Structure 1
Amino acid sequence: METNLKSKAVLITGAAKGIGRETAIAFGREGSRVALFDIDEAALAEASAAVTAAGGTAATFKADLSSAADIEEKVTAAIAHFGSVDVLVNNVGAGAVRTFDQLTDAEWDKTFSLNFMSYVRTTRVVLPVMRKQGHGAIVNNGSDLARQPEGVPIDYSASKAAVLALTKGLARTEGANNIRINAVAPGPIWTPFWTQPGGFAETMGKFHNMEPQKAVEHEMSLRQLPLGRLGKPEEVANVIVFLASDLASFVTSSVWGVDGGSIRAIA
């Protein structure tokens, strides 16, 4: 089946590592022109090389995606570089395991600034271009915790629920402009989001008073995933590429779970 993504201009936030990196490479395999945004310049360079090796064209933009000014400047520069934007993948995010009582206002603001407002701000820059072109696709990275929240991390869950509301709301208004807006909702995916210092695994270990790996195994047993394992970033990337492609031409306002069966609800 043909995705028709060859030469399409694709913008991906949080593209240096994890799901973002694998998504960039997946678009590279389709022959897309990919703009990668991240604050980690060294990892961006490595990811860019991987996109090129996969058969795509890559451009990198070091950006603080919690900064409104940086987003506007760098996303505008990427659109100018490619001359268009066909696909936006809002992927950047961060989280730590903290209880409601532990969270300060500053920590709530930090979580929402990166995990939600960065999506608002990139979309705000991209939509006028897509409307003028008369087409476009946006894929937002949500979470299974947006649809089935746990007590921790509650700030992360709330920010991702906001992402799904944004997805649904904008899909309603932008359908008339031939712009499709969908979301993926990954479950636990083994990426640097979990493994890096201060990431989910380390903070989960502190919360459960266990070694990080043991804490992750314990958490997975509590969630009772039918597939019994953490996912791989490329498994999410494959769904993102599908949603951005012509194969999903009649798909909008949808939330695609890539979660190993963690969500039990029918809808």
Structure 2
Amino acid sequence: MDLQLAGKRALVTGSSSGIGVGIAQMLAAEGCAVVIHGRNRERTESTLRDLKVAGMAIGDLSTDEGAAAVHEQARAALGGPIEILVNNAGGTDGDSTTRPPLKITVEEWLSAYQGNALAAVRLALAAAPDMISAAWGRIINISSAVAVQPNNLGSDYTGAKAALNNFTVSLAGSLQGSGVTVNTVSPGIIMTSGLLAFGRHNYANPDMTATEVADRMVADKIFDYPPSGRLGTPEDIALIVSTLASPRSGFVTGANYRVDGGQVRTV
């Protein structure tokens, strides 16, 4: 199926590695002009060399100034307004995901909200006016399965992602009839290069395959396989993002697409 994405202009944040790279690759393959983004210039430049995309933007989205700079860099590299905004940047800078709520500091809570929820808000504020003026646009927020099924650890991160889900629904409703849709994609556990590197380091075996790392982590009860029987890949996420970015998906807005292999068990 032709997703009708040829010539569309897209910014994918947090795309110097992991899920973001997969999203950027697939959008570019569908004909989009894509700008990738990262905080680390060297790593982002390395990714840029491997991808056929329009350019890159560097900046810290946890600050107003950083987000404004990224928006302007992306707009310049694309030669026009952003039509598709994929808010993928997020995560945590420390090890709070291994600690219960009462062991997470207020500063870590604030940092998680800045990087996961408010980063998306900042870029939506910057990019949405152009989309509204053009009567067409796509905002896709990358959340997490744990936003709706949190565990006892990392509640700063899970809470921030839950806020992002809430923002998606509110923004979608407020843009009724504008031609701009807003949706969430919530990955489960994804086998990224980062997770593979962590597993190889953790098990002191640089030759482990992705399957071996995943099987070992399941055996050690670090996580469980979802009903699908495997971990997700960046391409699994990119497929849904590309579909939501398509002009063909104009009737879909305010939704949360769980791409988790059945990890979330609620209806």
How many angstroms does 1:61 deviate by? Answer: 1.1
1:220 maps to 2:223: yes
Aligned length: 249
Inter-partner Cα distance in structure 1 for 2:163 and 2:32: 29
Structure-2 separation of matches of 1:160 and 1:236: 16
- Cα deviation digits, residues 176-216 of structure 1 (max 9, x gap): 2110000101001112554566x9x97xxxxxxxxx97455
CA contact (8 A) 1:76 1:125 kept: no
What is the 5 A alignment of 1:119-198? Answer: 119-192=120-193, 194-195=195-196
Runs of 4+ off more than 6 Å: none
Q: Distance in 1 between matches of 2:88 and 2:57?
A: 15
Q: Structure 1 residue 77 and structure 2 residue 73: aligned?
A: yes
Q: Secondary structure of the equivalent of 1:183?
A: strand
**What is the aligned-residue identity percentage?**
31
The corresponding residue for 1:45 is 45
The TM-score with structure 1 as length reference comes to 0.87
1:88–1:139: 8 Å Cα contact kept in structure 2? Answer: yes
Cα RMSD after superposing both structures: 2.0
Q: Which residue does the alignment assign to 1:99?
A: 100
Which residue does the alignment assign to 1:90?
87
Q: Contact 1:25/1:50 (CA < 8 Å) preserved in 2?
A: no
Contact 1:94 1:193 in 2 (8 A): no
1:7-18 correspondence to structure 2 within 5 Å: 7-18=7-18
Counterpart in the other structure of 1:258: 259
Instruction: State the distance in 1 between where 2:61 and 2:193 align.
Output: 17
Q: Which runs of 5+ in 2 are unaligned?
A: 203-212
Q: Quote the Cα distance in structure 2 between the aligned partners of 1:131 and 1:25.
A: 26
* Separation of aligned partners in 2, 1:230 and 1:97: 20
1:60 aligns with 2:56: yes
Aligned counterparts of 2:107 and 2:35: Cα–Cα separation in 1: 31
CA, structure 1 residues 9+30, in 2 after alignment: closer, same or farther (shift >3 Å)?
A: same
Amino acid at match of 1:249: G
1:66–1:113 contact (8 Å) kept in structure 2:
yes
Residue type of the alignment partner of 2:106: D
Higher share in helix: 1
Deviation, 1:254, is 0.7
Distance 1:256 1:86, change over 3 A: same
Contact 1:22 1:234 in 2 (8 A): yes
Indicate if the aligned counterparts of 1:26 and 1:238 stay in contact, CA closer than 8 A. yes
TM-score, L = length of structure 2: 0.87
Q: Kindly provide the CA deviation profile for residues 105-161 of structure 1, in whole angstroms up to 9, marking residues without a partner as x.
A: 111111111011100101110011111111100100011101111111211110110
Are the counterparts in 2 of residues 38 and 65 from structure 1 also a CA contact under 8 Å?
Answer: no
Which deviations, in whole Å up to 9, do the C-alpha atoms of 1:3-32 show, x marking residues without a partner? 111111001110100010111111110121
